[in-house]
Amino acid sequence: SAVISQKPSRDICQRGTSLTIQCQVDSQVTMMFWYRQQPGQSLTLIATANQGSEATYESGFVIDKFPISRPNLTFSTLTVSNMSPEDSSIYLCSARTGGMYEQYFGPGTRLTVT
């Protein structure tokens, strides 16, 4: 498994501003992902963070709104841009550590937009 940390753990932001969430893994991993989890809902994949290239976004998510960086094999950031109250959610980073499909999650970032 892997130990994954995220910063910040929570934040309250004003409408129209942006927030960058950081995800750090304690070892090199093959794949990193960003998810959103709205209250009472399951996980929705935002994008796959690709090391050294542009992220791969899922339907309904675009780079202008959710720019992602992954400069190396242990670190990624997700920015939530031009926020609105609808962006209030928990944002989760996950990592796939080996040849199989297991993913391990960070503790999440709880975002509230006012």
Partner 1 sequence: QKEVEQNSGPLSVPEGAIASLNCTYSDRGSQSFFWYRQYSGKSPELIMFIYSNGDKEDGRFTAQLNKASQYVSLLIRDSQPSDSATYLCAAPYSSNTGKLIFGQGTTLQVKP
Question: Interface with partner 1 by CB under 8 A: which range of 12-20, 35-43, 66-74, 75-83?
Answer: 35-43
Longest dimension (CA), the chain: 42
Please report how close the Cβ of residue 77 comes to partner 1 at its closest, in angstroms: 18
CA distance 113 to 85: 5
Q: What residue has token string 């670190």?
A: 75
Q: Give the count of residues interacting with partner 1 (CB under 8 A).
A: 20
Closest CA to 77 of 36, 29, 22, 32: 22
Distances (CA, A) of 6 to 60, 66, 90, 107: 24, 16, 12, 6
Q: How far is the CB of 33 from partner 1 (least distance, A)?
A: 7
* Interaction pattern, residues 87-106, with partner 1; x per rule: CB under 8 A: -----x---x---xxxxxxx
For partner 1, give the closer residue by CB, 67 or 108.
108
Query: By the criterion CB under 8 A, which residues form the site for partner 1?
Result: 1, 30-31, 33, 41-43, 45, 48, 92, 96, 100-108
